Structure 1
């Protein structure tokens, strides 16, 4: 797995790559100071834990920036584009806008400082070789379900690890088997786990045999067809089993449901998704039933007959009277509040993948014995 970067490192690397033709890479550096830790404790599933939120002040220094050859506005636009795409929760954490300080050296060059605050979670997963202990305990796992983020996407993997002394003899015997048999052992284990996941979804229950948390609207079954494309991949000389989806987007959606997560969405992204799915809205079309109901709830009135008094129109009347665009404008005016530009969506955990360690170990030992006795 590639080394994870914190946001300041990623932004610095993005700037270096973008303007490397104009500014030498070693002239662009960054550092952080004034860091604070805020206790959190949010559980992420699979024994994962957000132990703290890490807030710090980042400084990016660009020496001898050629302001005559490269418009400084390009540099500032790069910073804001990165923040828009990779740091969408700034409004939620009330992080201020970047501050810029420029010191002109001569008519061609200037030193530029860009200062801004960041907030990042410190997340932990159980690891037999980890350096941190919680409550003085270390879990010596032989098998664990790992989920890591890569390029803001999630990947799932099952890692088989023969480090327990009790399993040492079995592990040595397994590693002595021909490569073809080791591949079958892990492939069959992955197919078994896929069947278990499909059974849980059919019963609408998680790995602890507890019902999935229901939808907020409707009662349709959850996660239907989610594991149809789930595939086992054997890697590292048949010592590693990865259970994932060929499609990265599907793997990301599955991980969010399996682990549970707090997702930050914004209005612009929502509009783009809806336009991609439904096309450009026809603002001259009649207003929708949902808009009409909202208008009535907000107290929208129309003049009565002969201009006397005010009446509350029916839903059907509003659908005939107003267009889609008119209804949307009136609703925004009546609400008298600025529309949210971003919001947090809390996705409940519905852990359909990741059988108990004891069950997986039993299945693994069964496969090993079957492979050893098979001619």
Structure 2
């Protein structure tokens, strides 16, 4: 099989469509690229929200990665079941999720858990729950450097929150967390300038905390777009996620990044309702639909325009129907892989053109057992 056809199956007639195919050799290469960029595994904390899969966690652990980040209690439990030593829940747990987080700490006492905090009221609630359960909750202050989604602005208020947590016997302050997903200029030079400017406020707060004699903060920073910059900083732990499977959305925006698409949609033409129109079995239920068209990059069609999508169908204008028949298999890279993975119960693992096994998307739902 030549490189141009790395994604193709030898016997596609046996595969149900739509499906999501993954390619372990490419995933392993992406893991190695992350490690090379970070200069090792010590300052690397990959996010598992993209794949939610035990096998991919274990591929990373086999290459020496011990620190991970996740977004849900189910993802944290999945990491714990894989014996990942160091787990950060990057979503401030509120309501019953706080109790679930404490249950994780108690169920897996040999593992290190931490989560995020961005306000005094929630920290007081956490302290009360920790005391009641006779546990210590490790915390990172979640900082808002411009994304305006979660977090507290690096300021005197953030300083005071850090200081108050450091004095509480049931809470353990670990450091600072910043996600800068709003920084995504396609020009890497301009993106680095934006990233460095936003991060200056984080560094200033860190310096202030150390000068005040407070516990020295560990800094967790960034996602995939800012990973090339944060991974080069001293004493900063970078936390990419999409880099493991990649997609055409980031691939188009950031072509300088050397990550490989490692997840491919398998689909079929299900109808040719009129001249110049093709319909595929690739609806909202099979690919993340929040992006503008095109929502995927076809690897087997050189041209065509995606014009509509519904629950089960994707409709495309195409100007050469002579070579395309109903039932033909096709392959496409999704524009946004993270929510696309969550559409599937399992990933079909492709080795040497054959589906060799299935990997369960084990943290696809909100709950595994806790």
Class of the TM-score when normalised by the shorter of the 2 chains: under 0.3
| Structure label with greater radius of gyration | 1
TM-score (norm 2): 0.21
For CA contacts below 8 A with separation 6 or more, give which structure has more relative contact order: 2
